[in-house]
Structure formats: structure tokens, C-alpha cells
Amino acid sequence: MSLQKPPTTTRLDRAAVFLSGLCLLHCLAIPFALLLGPVLSQWLASSESQVHWILLALALPISGIALGRGYRKHPSLLTLVLGAIGLIFMLLGVSHILGEAYEIALTVIGVAMLLAAHLRNMTAGHDHD
């Protein structure tokens, strides 16, 4: 017998998965845009940092609420830690604390970890711990 998750938690996880995918798409588009031409690459490069800060600002509360609600319903420390580390990697990437050269790698790793946490949260209670 499976317990159904509250609709709000599922919607927040789905929104977080969508935002993670959007961020990942943006990060991976930069190298391809650099190959496509100066105008397109210049536009994407100039918006890169702003887009990452906006997505991080959206990811923090949505992920925090969704993962917190999921944890209360189906406690999984692994899911919480995976999400928290993902958000930390995203913050390290966008803030350039470790240098601009690591921004894309840190962001992609962080987004992938956060995405995995939300997918785990959405399927909580289905024997994966």
C-alpha cells in the first residue's frame, strides 16, 4: 500500500525538476553558443550570471520547502543531503568563490544532484534507500 504525497509537495518537486532542467539546458547551451557565432554567444555569455542567480533564487525556497515536506512525510537523510549539497554546488558555481572557470561544472553537478533529490522525493516510499 503506498501513501499518496500531498499535492503541494508533488507540484513543488515538479517545479524544481523543471527549473533544474532549465538551468542545466542554459549551462550546456553556453559552449554551443560560443561555436555558433559572436552575436549569439555574446548575448548568452552576458546573461549567464544573471540567469544563474535568478534560478538559484527560485531553487532555494522551492527546493527547501519541497524537500522539507518530503522529509517529514518519508524521512530520507540521503535525499536531504543530496539536495543540500546540490544547492551548495550551485551557489559555489554562481558566486565564483572557486573561480569563474568552475562555474559551469559546479552548476551542472549541483543541478544534477538537486534533480536527483527531487526525483527521489517524488518517489519516496518506493524502496530506494
**What pLDDT was estimated at residue 128?**
45
Alpha-carbon gap, residue 32 to 121, rounded angstroms: 32
Q: Given this model, what pLDDT does residue 50 score? A: 76
> Does the predicted model carry a pTM greater than 0.85?
no
Mean pLDDT to the nearest integer, 97-105: 87
Cell of 102: 568552475
Could you tell me which of 128, 107, 124 has the C-alpha nearest to residue 19? 107
Number of helices (H), then strands (E), in the chain: 4, 0
pLDDT at 86 (0 to 100): 95
> What is the distance between the alpha carbons of residues 61 and 79, in angstroms, rounded to a whole number?
16
Q: Give the chain's length.
A: 129
Retrieve residue 115's grid coordinates. 534533480
